[in-house]
A and B are shown apart, each in its own frame.
Chain A
Amino acid sequence: MDLVVVGASLAGLRAVESARRAGHTGPITLIGAEPHLPYDRPPLSKAFLCAGGPAQVRPFRGEAELRDELGVRLLLGTPAQTLDTVACEVSVGDQAVPYDALIIATGASPRPFPGTSGIAGVHQLRTSDDAVAIRSALDGGARTVVVGAGFIGSEVASAARARGHEVTVVEAASLPLSRSIGVDAGTVCADLHRANGTDLRLGVGVAAIESSDGRVTGVRLDDGTVLAADLVVVGTGVAPATGWLRGSGVPLHERDGGVLCDETLWTGVPGVYAAGDVAHVPNPLFDGDLMRLEHWTSAAEQGAAAARHALDPASARGLAPVPYFWSDWYGHRIQFVGTPDCDEVQVVDTDTFTALYRRGDRIVGALTVDRPREVMKFRKRIAERGDWSEALAFAGVSAREGAA
């Protein structure tokens, strides 16, 4: 049985590892658009951007280990171009790669700012090449403007401030992240930026990114202000990388083009499963909500499960994960477990900050700042469909202990 994994990042790597662990002895092909071996992305916007941080992005596993120990045929540096679900083939360059089982793990690509392609000093942050370029600009003392106050952009701002650089973050919404974590938590995020010397401009859009001789010079805002800049990082979200699946018969979400799966990660097309940032998956823990998660833990878990299920569909079990992400800003750790899609958000600790999210009579989410001991206690309650008032009582006790 030929297993083909398209996408050579965390989900794809975990698919390969899990297939071998499950006893698959047949051929495995791993196809990746980037020329690099699979590497870890969260550090790209964190430790890697720090002065004195690691100088290179290290792969999870070396090439010899992947090839010889895991028996993986690597096709790196060329993206998959099309999928033929009738012939059961993926085209890569001029090759047709046949599969019996296929894992789609192509992730998501940042949305570019229109008209900036080829302008030096304008970057997005997704790949190690992006991170190397941004780090190099920060090393050179760049005046930095970040477009979009999301997690990635905010981590870049944090890294720039840690080096003492001037940083401006421009966000079209009236608060950072309020749609993804709520108004109260969004306010805390805005305060973190301002308390650390980042110039946060809210409720204003970017009219244009200005350049001279092919190099960025500044960012012009909707209100006419021009912010001088040597480095502009655009962090305004990503779109699932599924252009290669158009017309393949794999069902795609009408809004963002992500791959639609069932809770076992099956796409409905024989032998074809999806995992990671690319996949929309219903989550039975949250009333079957369709979730597309851009989280490390989801990519790892789904990658491993997709391969097991693809190789042995009869054994497939639906996943019911508690989503989890974290972000590091100015030396503070923001952690979120569960879903922000709720009936009520209650702030239970204003000292460091903890907010709980209620749906019906259950706790469905928790956001903490600098509360590493507590966040997984909330996660456990969310996983067990825990009672809201009990969660509030626990939070009250825990906050008092923390303050004592």
Chain B
Amino acid sequence: MEKLINELKVKLLEILNLVDIRPEDIGEDDQLVGGDLGIDSIDILEMVIMIDKDYGVLIDNRTVGEEVLQSLRTLARYIYENSTRL
């Protein structure tokens, strides 16, 4: 789980293209959307694609998305439970 969270941090920063933030600056339980990182709906979609592509886990409706993308921890848990690649 921890490994997955750290991996997600790196991928998240790459997607967001935030050059001045380091992986360790993001807390596992920080609010993802609308939090300090300035993540919006377009970033979310980009993350959803990455999760599908890299872990084979589909998040294709808003209700699931809102639940899963609360924090890195909730996201990692969802991937962990649903991915056949881990």
Q: Do A and B bind each other?
A: no
